[in-house]
Amino acid sequence: MRLKVTAAYNGANFVGWQRQSKGRTVQKTIEDVISVILNQPTEITASGRTDSGVSAVGQVFHFDSDISIPDLQWQKALNTQLPDDIYIKDVRSVSQDFHARFNVVSKRYDYSIQTGNYDVFSYPFVYQLNRPLDLEKMRKCAILFVGEHDFTSFNATPIEMIPYQIRTVQRLDIIDEGDKVRLIFEGKGFLRYMIRMMTQVLIEIGLGRLTQYDVIRMFELNNKEACKLNAPAQGLTLVEVRYDR
């Protein structure tokens, strides 16, 4: 049977989602627990990887099990054995053709920026910019990123690895939350650092250090040297992964 799992985790405590030879990862931590329950090595497949310091409240992964255990019991068993910085929100049986990565319709990421005074309680999950931003300028510039574009200038994935770097940003909202600003990104898929690079560009716009014309020029240059900006990881959270019903 195949199980679809929705998980939340505190990215500040991990070197990323993907299993690595060094450092604590979310994937290996979860796989170790499932392997103990099933009494055999088990791999999980996620909707995508998150980088070091990036958190999630709606990461989705799947795995296969030969043991018939009710979904709710799976959730309880996993949460009993997982550390406190990972929480399983939902487990449900799905058809064998479900794939956590290939069946994704869209993903939502939120990036949170503290524009007010430094907040000692939120700093692992919110970028402590602690400076005001011109949100109207940011919103006008955000329109440039929405839609289908070649994002070669706005990500760190090598062309040799993924030559086709055209992606579609379905939504980019900038929300005023008082002492915080929230950027909401939605799209089917994003390249490495793509959201964080767009975010830092928008921050520079909000600080008056870049203009829309600078961003247009970055698009026109269409190369990896055009933009060297990258917002810190701790402000980014994977909020939701959507699938076709």
Residue 189 in any domain: the answer is yes
Residue 77 in any domain: the answer is yes
Dihedral sign (CA 205, 222, 147, 110): negative
Would you place residue 244 in the very low, low, confident or very high pLDDT band (cuts 50, 70, 90)?
A: confident
Q: In terms of domains, do 45 and 112 share one?
A: no
Q: In terms of domains, do 80 and 194 share one?
A: no
Rounded-to-integer distance, Cα 118 and Cα 137, Å: 24
pLDDT at residue 21, rounded to an integer: 87
| CATH code of the domain containing 173 | 3.30.70.660
Look at the chain and count its residues.
Answer: 245
Q: What is the mean pLDDT of residues 176-201?
A: 97
Q: In terms of domains, do 127 and 20 share one?
A: no
Residue 101 in any domain: the answer is no
Q: What is the mean pLDDT of residues 176-200?
A: 97
Q: In terms of domains, do 144 and 88 share one?
A: no
Q: What percentage of the chain exceeds 90 in pLDDT?
A: 98
194-206 and 212-221 helices, crossing angle to 10°: 150
Domain's final residue, options 28, 63, 94: 94
pLDDT at residue 28, rounded to an integer: 97
The 10s digit of each residue's pLDDT in 217-238 is 999 999 999 999 999 999 999 9
pTM score, two decimals?
0.95
Rounded-to-integer distance, Cα 117 and Cα 122, Å: 11
Rounded-to-integer distance, Cα 147 and Cα 185, Å: 12
Domain's final residue, options 60, 94, 128: 94
23, amino acid identity: G
E strand map for 37-179: 45-46, 55-64, 86-94, 104-114, 127-128, 147-150, 166-176
Would you place residue 156 in the very low, low, confident or very high pLDDT band (cuts 50, 70, 90)?
A: very high
Q: What is the average pLDDT value for the chain, to the nearest integer?
A: 96
Instruction: Decide if pLDDT at 245 tops 90.
Output: no
The 10s digit of each residue's pLDDT in 201-210 is 999 999 999 9
pLDDT at residue 47, rounded to an integer: 97
Q: In terms of domains, do 231 and 113 share one?
A: yes
Provide the 10 A C-beta neighbour count for residue 214.
15
Q: In terms of domains, do 147 and 76 share one?
A: no
Domain that holds residue 56: 2-94
pLDDT at residue 95, rounded to an integer: 95
Q: What is the mean pLDDT of residues 176-197?
A: 97
Residue 81 in any domain: the answer is yes
Rounded-to-integer distance, Cα 183 and Cα 198, Å: 10
pLDDT at residue 227, rounded to an integer: 97
pLDDT at residue 1, rounded to an integer: 92
Would you place residue 27 in the very low, low, confident or very high pLDDT band (cuts 50, 70, 90)?
A: very high
Q: In terms of domains, do 182 and 152 share one?
A: yes
Q: In terms of domains, do 222 and 158 share one?
A: yes
Q: In terms of domains, do 40 and 151 share one?
A: no
Q: In terms of domains, do 110 and 85 share one?
A: no
Provide the 10 A C-beta neighbour count for residue 118.
10
Domain's final residue, options 94, 124, 158: 94
Active site residues: 51
Rounded-to-integer distance, Cα 43 and Cα 22, Å: 18
Q: In terms of domains, do 113 and 90 share one?
A: no
Rounded-to-integer distance, Cα 77 and Cα 158, Å: 40
The number of distinct structural domains making up the chain is 2
Instruction: Decide if pLDDT at 197 tops 90.
Output: yes
Residue 99 in any domain: the answer is no
The 10s digit of each residue's pLDDT in 60-102 is 999 999 998 999 999 999 999 999 999 999 999 999 999 999 9
User: Helix (H, G, I), strand (E, B), or coil: what is residue 12?
Assistant: helix
Residue 100 in any domain: the answer is no
